[in-house]
């Protein structure tokens, strides 16, 4: 075998080893990391709030922005459309499930998280209505702001979001208390 053929064989072996490393180790790790990240996005306790920053908007009437925001929040796989009521600055978000199909605390946790994310990122949104097949739940910005004790816009900073919102969603008793404080029962 002459020198030229050795180089060709050596480069072929290096390429083959590179292919084995990429396809056998690197790509599966990337896929596993992506799957883990996507699974984390279905829980309000592990959701990546920083990924929502691009959906910050002054107006709830920006339908594209509102829909993309809610498609990136927990429970997005059950979304069944939206309806906007500009005269009352209300967004209705429809879901294709009955509330008894989920654990009550988990559902409350997700609804609180999603409603607060909508209020924090959409400046003039006054109410969020979650319409399920069997019930509707209405969240009110004023009640949420009273509960938070600060301007909701201040919660756009991830560390403030985590300390004021996410930490209150860990214990079931805290979730129920928070839920009852920001739901509009009128």
pLDDT band of 31, cuts 50, 70, 90 = confident
**Range in 19-33, 72-86, 124-138 with the lowest mean pLDDT:** 19-33
What pLDDT was estimated at residue 1? 67
Q: How many CA atoms lie within 13 A of 149 on its CB side?
A: 5
Q: What percentage of residues in the chain have a pLDDT greater than 90?
A: 67
Q: Are 47 and 73 in contact (CB under 8 A)?
A: yes
Q: Can you tell me the distance from the alpha carbon of 56 to that of 34, in angstroms, rounded to the nearest whole number? A: 24
Q: Can you tell me the distance from the alpha carbon of 93 to that of 99, in angstroms, rounded to the nearest whole number? A: 14
If one compares 110 and 21, the residue with the highest pLDDT of the two is 110
Q: Are 105 and 176 in contact (CB under 8 A)?
A: yes
- Quick one: which H or E segment has residue 105? helix 104-121
């Amino acid at each position: 075998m002459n020198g030229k053929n050795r180089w060709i064989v050596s480069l072929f072996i290096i390429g083959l080893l590179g292919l084995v490393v990429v396809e056998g180790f690197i790509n599966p790790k990337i896929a596993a990391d992506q799957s883990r990240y996507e699974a984390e996005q279905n829980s309000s306790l592990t959701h990546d709030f920083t990924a929502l920053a691009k959906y910050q908007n002054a107006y709830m009437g920006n339908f594209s922005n509102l829909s993309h925001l809610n498609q990136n929040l927990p429970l997005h796989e059950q979304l069944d459309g939206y309806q906007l009521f500009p005269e009352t600055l209300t967004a209705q978000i429809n879901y294709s499930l009955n509330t008894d199909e989920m654990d009550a605390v988990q559902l409350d946790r997700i609804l609180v998280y999603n409603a607060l994310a909508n209020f924090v990122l959409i400046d003039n949104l006054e109410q969020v209505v979650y319409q399920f097949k069997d019930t509707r739940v209405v969240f009110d910005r004023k009640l949420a702001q009273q509960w938070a004790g600060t301007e909701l816009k201040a919660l756009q900073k991830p560390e403030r979001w985590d300390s004021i919102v996410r930490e209150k969603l860990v214990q079931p008793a805290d979730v129920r208390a928070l839920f009852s404080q920001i739901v509009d029962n009128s």
